[in-house]
Structure 1
Amino acid sequence: MNTTEPLTGKPFALEGKSAMMERALSSAGISILFQDSTLTLSYAENLPRHFAELFFAGGSDSDLFGQAHGDYLRTLKFKVLETGTATNAEIDMDVDGEVRTYELKVQRINNEGSLGILSVISEVTELRHREKVLKSLLRELSHRSKNLLAIIQGIATQTARNTLSLDSFLAKFRGRLQSLSNSQDLITDSSWRGAYLFDLAEKQFAPYWPETAGSMPIFGINAHLTPNAAVHLGLALHELIVNSASYGAIAGGAPSITLNCKEAKHNGRKAIEIAWVEILPNRTEIHEFSENSFGKTVLERVVPSSMSGKAELRLVPGRIEYYLQIPETEFEILKRP
């Protein structure tokens, strides 16, 4: 019957019902397969082309699905015939060079006293692919969440070790959490692909940069950083800008700071070097980077080790300089100045 033609006769005549069922099966992407009590194929409807070409009345599951799948389905269907308990099965088949997954819902039927098997077949290739992608994303999210919690725990522990009062701890801890949140916002907005250096720096500097000082001094290559690099570099930039706002150039009213990114070499491989240079308004050596302080630990140890990079913090009268080399595994140069 040509089910693409309008139905004729009474709407609910037998022929009309059959045509309506065919159309419903076709639009839903569902096939049905009938077998007698010996599992001999007797009738099929709406089979995909590759199955329809193999189907013939009197054939078997092995003729349709191949010997291995046929043996598996034969055992499963005989059990359904014996127990009357419906079950589901999935098989993967190579169709035109592509692996496709089919779900079979198998149940026993009684046709005028004769037992048989009805299999409802649907392709679930895309559904299973989406499920695999979702599981992969959830595993990645779990991994990133654990890493983030470990960073927060480390920040809390180190901040507590280097503060003498609860008020001081809360102020510094909240600032560092906000820095982490700012970096995380950029990463999330990019669907976890990372963040551009300039965007990251502006996000970290904005709460502390004086409005009267003009645009933020960020120069060089606007490298695209991995999520890992963005999170840890964000922490480093936070420590530098907070120190400047508390004791350095910003606090002194003359924010002479530059942040520059250029191409470099690290262990003989491509890298970028990010340089912070801060000219202090006087030759004071007051800062938050004393030996074993949290800021110094972050800048010299935590940040470079997290990226397998290299860092150097130079504290000299009248200047604070910080140089960080980031290996090519942690960035891409998508835009050049």
Structure 2
Amino acid sequence: MALNNAQVGVVVKAEDGSYLYASGLPEYFPSIDLSEASDESLFADDWLKLMQEGQRQVLATGKRSVVELVRTTNSQYCACECTIERYEADGLAPAILITFVDLTPERKREDALKALLREVSHRSKNLLAIVQSIAAQTARTSEGLDFFLTKFRGRLAALSSAQDLVTESNWRGAQFKSLAQHQFMRYIEKGDRRVSITGEDVLLSPNGATHVGLALHELITNSVAFGALSNKAGTLALDCKRLEDGRYVISWEERTGLAKTPLAKEETDVASRKQFGSTVLERVVPSALEGDADYDIEPHFVSYQLEFRVADY
């Protein structure tokens, strides 16, 4: 009972090879009848050679031998540590004692941990590459250090917000609507009637969530500075739709609600909005998602279309 509770299997063999006792072997070993049991019936293929060689060494030297049995197939993985030693006691004929310790759960945990560490390393490198790209793109359109720091910190905060959602989902990704709401909440109050979020609540991959979050950040900050979110009369519609070919399109339509302004002022506002984030919206994000984007700015209307295929990028 103690051995079974400790999940240790035991086999005792006479020196002539006959089986005297067997109990508690891991489930991937076949059930055996002691009267007919043999190494051939218990160990198959390459395991048989390893165990017979281990027993020969013990009988020849009297020293303990440890054999590790591992099997990997498409449907099964198992690992077992077998300790073989000579067993002698007063009044009993010499025998061979083999103890079996199932290493399968431990090895699976180790493999899962290694896979997790590789995944963390991979995603960390991806994030560093994204941060490097953000820094470079921000620097290209910055007129000075203060402006760079303001824009760069905002983009990093948007990246962090998207990563929080991805982490909460155990790295499955982020739902589109939750991602959008998190980005808007950094600039407007929840339930702001100027903003509507409709359509498919698609699950974005971790990479998709990161870059869509970045695109939304650029659109929102531009809107706060120049567009619908800069006044009480503006309206903003964000929608996600699945196309017939399986791709998705995220649509941003924004109406400033402002009265007509002088032509020179309109041209200045359009130029300013184009400068801030246009590279991210038109090149960086669609490239990362292997999609297409269309960004159109008029004095009182802004449209952004991002088409992409949902995948584990």
**Shorter chain as normaliser: what TM range?**
0.7 to 0.9
Quote the sequence identity (%). 37
1:30 aligns with 2:8: yes
> Matched residue of 1:273: which SS?
strand
Q: Which stretch of the first structure deviates more once superposed, 108-117 or 148-157? A: 108-117
1:121 aligns with 2:100: yes
Superposition RMSD in Å: 3.1
| Residue correspondence of structure 1 range 248-327 to structure 2 within 5 A | 248-265=227-244, 269-280=245-256, 281=258, 282=260, 284-285=266-267, 286=269, 288-290=272-274, 293=275, 295-327=277-309
| Deviation for aligned residue 1:176 | 0.6
Name the structure 2 match of 1:166: 145
In structure 1, how many angstroms separate the alpha carbons of the residues matched to 2:55 and 2:194? 74
| Deviation for aligned residue 1:271 | 1.8
Name the structure 2 match of 1:196: 175
Query: Which amino acid is the alignment partner of residue 279 of structure 1?
Result: R
> Matched residue of 2:80: which SS?
strand
Of 112, 121, 130 in structure 2, the residue corresponding to residue 142 of structure 1 is 121
CA spacing shift, 1:177–1:38, aligned 2, 3 Å = farther
> Matched residue of 1:163: which SS?
coil
1:65-92 Cα deviation digits (max 9, x unpaired):
1243111222233345537254241233
| Residue correspondence of structure 1 range 1-337 to structure 2 within 5 A | 23-36=1-14, 41-47=19-25, 53-56=31-34, 60-81=38-59, 82=61, 84-92=63-71, 99=76, 101-111=78-88, 117-209=96-188, 213-214=192-193, 216-265=195-244, 269-280=245-256, 281=258, 282=260, 284-285=266-267, 286=269, 288-290=272-274, 293=275, 295-329=277-311
> Matched residue of 2:76: which SS?
strand
| Deviation for aligned residue 1:25 | 1.4
| Conservation of the 8 A alpha-carbon contact between 1:100 and 1:123 | no
CA spacing shift, 1:67–1:238, aligned 2, 3 Å = closer
| Deviation for aligned residue 1:174 | 1.0
1:160-197 Cα deviation digits (max 9, x unpaired):
22213222221111111110111111111111112121
Task: Name structure 1 gaps, 5 residues minimum.
Answer: 1-22, 332-337
- TM-score by length of structure 1 reads 0.77
In structure 1, how many angstroms separate the alpha carbons of the residues matched to 2:29 and 2:238? 65
In structure 1, how many angstroms separate the alpha carbons of the residues matched to 2:81 and 2:53? 14
In structure 2, how many angstroms separate the alpha carbons of the residues matched to 1:319 and 1:33? 81
| Deviation for aligned residue 1:322 | 0.5
CA spacing shift, 1:50–1:101, aligned 2, 3 Å = closer
In structure 1, how many angstroms separate the alpha carbons of the residues matched to 2:30 and 2:294? 70
Q: Which stretch of the first structure deviates more once superposed, 306-315 or 321-330? A: 321-330
Query: Which amino acid is the alignment partner of residue 277 of structure 1?
Result: E
> Matched residue of 2:228: which SS?
coil
Name the structure 2 match of 1:4: none
**Count of aligned pairs between the two proteins:** 302
Name the structure 2 match of 1:14: none
Query: Which amino acid is the alignment partner of residue 91 of structure 1?
Result: V
| Conservation of the 8 A alpha-carbon contact between 1:106 and 1:117 | no
> Matched residue of 1:258: which SS?
strand
| Conservation of the 8 A alpha-carbon contact between 2:54 and 2:65 | no
Name the structure 2 match of 1:19: none
Task: Name structure 2 gaps, 5 residues minimum.
Answer: none
